[in-house]
Amino acid sequence: MRLHVAELAAIKERVHAGPGEQATAAQKAKGKLTVRERIELLLDEGSFREVEPLRRHRATGFGLEAKRPYTDGVVTGWGTVEGRTVFVYAHDFRIFGGALGEAHATKIHKIMDMALAAGAPLVSLNDGAGARIQEGVTALAGYGGIFQRNTRASGVIPQISVMLGPCAGGAAYSPALTDFVFMVRETSQMFITGPDVVRAVTGEEITQNGLGGADVHAGTSGVAHFAYDDEETCLEEVRYLLSMLPSNNRENPPAAATDDPPTRTCEPLLDLVPVDGNRPYDMHRVMEELVDDGDYLEVHERWARNIICALARLDGKVVGIVANQPQALAGVLDIEASEKAARFVQMCDAFNIPIVTLLDVPGFLPGVDQEHGGIIRHGAKLLYAYCNATVPRISLILRKAYGGAYIVMDSQSIGADLTYAWPTNEIAVMGAEGAANVIFRRQIAAAEDPEAMRTRMVKEYKAELMHPYYAAERGLVDDVIDPVHTREVLIDSLAMLANKHADRPARKHGNPPQ
């Protein structure tokens, strides 16, 4: 037995060492960590339990039969993050460039099935060159199995993709199917067709990072939710995100102790938000006043900046915040903002995270590009997401809430559980100036002094239909509150809604707008 154990120990040592010092040096030269260094940063110290470390491929041809390294280029297993179970698979670029073959795919399939069965989050550390060409269609079928499992696990367990190297071709679709995508600048790229193919087909010259780097996907395409400068920071933020998500859709997000009193007043809010609806301000500062210790994790921070989506805590309990950002495009809703918020609302609803919506929205962005780009169907995505959500939903109107954008941003009429407003709120079909020009155009045109008449009609319209208590008088706002007490009101309301239950009609699934 001792001889056998010694043999096992020698094999395990080779497994952990990887393919050799030269391959490791090449990985380090690219500014990248090794696969096991990454797993150690992601998981609690000493918690990783590997699955199938001795797996080897059985392919033949093109010299494969002479090269059969252990792990087959992917390390799989489970461990803990802050004491909670998390499953992980991580490509090892040092072996076959992290390319996916039959054995490689089978290992990933197995760990995905285990994560779903155990009801625990799945994190993929992606650093691979795509399908293993030498194995042909078998490798492509392996990707199909991953996509099918991504879809089956969607909304059941959190799925997080961390891009730590290249991800090209069909391989890019797995991250796109998951809940969150992290990228590292300079070293990670995602694209369906690389720069060489782009050059051959279209004649365009572009680098890998220019085509599919972290900044491109975090700020332009919206494919990446987070982008960081180095792997260490990236993996630390993955741990932080996991601390705010439940293990599965049958649990609530983990609560955390806080020293921030639930009854804390928010005096700075009286000065942060200008009464003049045309003056911008930073909604981030409002959020910092409301949430525990001013701490939140913004999702898609650099994409569609006219709307903010963030995870935060109120009295230690996780909430999702959707808020217009008056500093960007005056906080209007456009195609990208609608898509961003819709996906975030769906994620919150899937994982039992209450939603707080902060409104200061002048409407949908007008323009030919928006209409031709499908603002109707894209805006409907956000409307559908809110209407379909069964988690506790609270909306707060800070200033403007005009037209269809007011309805779409979780108004009481589409199912918000509670709607509050500050005494600076203006809820209307459109702004007073535009409304006066439509309703009183004949009187204005016939007046001796059209400008004076327009000013008078605007003032009259505001007094009649846009005063701060108009919606409250009609039951469309549950209460008009002092901004100073907003945090306390939100916490009390969420506590009341903690056991909310909502039935939905029996159906296979809805058919949301695309």
> Which amino acid is present at 183?
M
Task: Return all residues near 314 (Cβ < 8 A) that are at least 6 apart.
Answer: 262, 290, 291, 292, 356, 487, 490, 491, 494
Catalytic entry in 170, 194, 219, 415: 170
- 451, 387 Cβ separation under 8 angstroms: no
Whole-number Å distance between alpha carbons of 40 and 270: 46
Whole-number Å distance between alpha carbons of 386 and 322: 11
Among 314, 417, 425, smallest CA distance to 359 is for 425
- Residue whose entry in the numeric block shows the structure tokens 């058919």: 511
Instruction: Identify whether 415 is a catalytic site residue.
Output: no
Give the residues across from 100 on adjacent strands: 131
Long-range residue pairs from 74-77, CB within 8 A, at least 24 positions apart, any chain? 74/98, 74/100, 74/104, 74/107, 74/108, 75/35, 75/36, 75/39, 75/50, 76/50, 76/51, 76/52, 76/107, 76/108, 76/110, 76/111, 77/39, 77/48, 77/49, 77/50, 77/51, 77/111
Instruction: Identify whether 222 is a catalytic site residue.
Output: no
- 486, 492 Cβ separation under 8 angstroms: no
Instruction: Identify whether 304 is a catalytic site residue.
Output: no
Task: Return all residues near 43 (Cβ < 8 A) that are at least 6 apart.
Answer: 79, 80, 81, 86, 88
Catalytic entry in 405, 428, 432, 472: 405
Measure CA of the first residue to CA of the last residue in the chain; give whole Å: 62
State which H helix or E strand residue 160 sits in: strand 159-163
Instruction: Identify whether 404 is a catalytic site residue.
Output: yes
Catalytic entry in 145, 169, 373, 434: 169
Catalytic entry in 97, 136, 194, 404: 404
State which H helix or E strand residue 452 sits in: helix 450-465
Q: Report the b/e string of 425-440 with b at 16+ CB within 10 A.
A: bbbbeebbebbbeeeb
Distance of CA 448 to the CA centre of its chain: 56
> Coil, helix or strand for 172?
helix
Angle (nearest 5°) at CA 200 between 196 and 206: 50
Angle (nearest 5°) at CA 49 between 43 and 50: 110
**Which residues are designated catalytic?**
169-170, 404-405
